[in-house]
Amino acid sequence: MAGVDLRYEPHLALALGGGGALGAAHAGVLEVLHERGIQPSIVVGTSAGSIAGGAYANGRDPYELTELVIRASWGDFGTFSMTPGLGLLDTEGLRETVDRIGHDSMIEDMPIRFAAVATDLSTEEAVLIDHGSLVEAIGASIAVPGLFRPKELDGRTFVDGGVVQNLPIEAAFTMGASHVIGVRLAPEWDFLPKMRTALHVHEYEIRDDVTMITPRLRHRSQWVARDLPGLVQLGREAAELALKDYPVVNPRPVADAPDAAPTTPEVAQEAPEEPAPPRGVAAFFQRRSLPSPTPDLPQ
């Protein structure tokens, strides 16, 4: 859309896509939006995007979010369930994590309008969860089939929103957006024969009223939490490129330079048991994905 100034777009939406551990790149994008004075009035997230988007819409400072993302592990979102079910993990650890990055809130009371995208298991359709508990909405949006247990909510059964809309641009327009900033981290889930959505989503990505930010994540795996500071930086670089015409109005704090990863004594005090073995999904992927007996996960 020629001539649009995102700083003054009245119904600007931010659509944050899914991508597992690659979601750390969202934190870098949020930093750059803040620095350029671009403030979305609508935020929609799928899967990993719902975690970052929910924290942002709930008022979390983007630089604080970056610090928390860098220290996060998969075990913060899922723990092994010992009871039979349709997934190895449940989202028991999620409530504590959301409390740490902000706090659980009723979505309708949050300062920025927000929705998490999940997939209704019965209808195989995308559903916008824009009310109720933030924790419950995120839990539904991140429920990767076969990995996390499906989420029961309001009498419906949900799995990961990425099954049908891994980049929720359409959802953002459904919420009334006039222009959408879309952040693509991973492709659509077209390996599911009944739910091939890549072409449909791509039609939204190329619209004039969509600004795309696509970090160059190369061959990084969304299932291994590795080099999270590097992912944050790649998110920053992609956002800076896409928004190069906008001057910096809120300079980046010096302490948040790339080499200033959180290694303060306060962080060490929060994790006195290091090096403890990873838990939940972190342990699952350590055993199956990492060649070294020492887990390459954030401390």
The Cα 273–Cα 144 span in angstroms is 29
Catalytic residue among 47, 50, 73, 105: 47
Q: For residue 47, indicate whether it is catalytic.
A: yes
205-209 contact pairs (CB < 8 A, 24+):
205/167, 205/169, 208/1, 208/2, 209/1, 209/4, 209/178, 209/179, 209/180
Which DSSP state fits 262? S
Edge to edge, the sheet with strand 79-80 lists 79-80, 87-90, 146-148
- Structure tokens of 165? 């809309």
Question: Is there a catalytic annotation at residue 73?
Answer: no
Q: Are 78 and 91 in contact (CB under 8 A)?
A: yes
CA-nearest of 44, 62, 51, 61 to 93 is 51
For the chain, counts of helices (H) and of strands (E)? 11, 11
**Which residue of the set 76, 90, 130, 160 is catalytic?**
160
The catalytic site residues sit at 47, 160
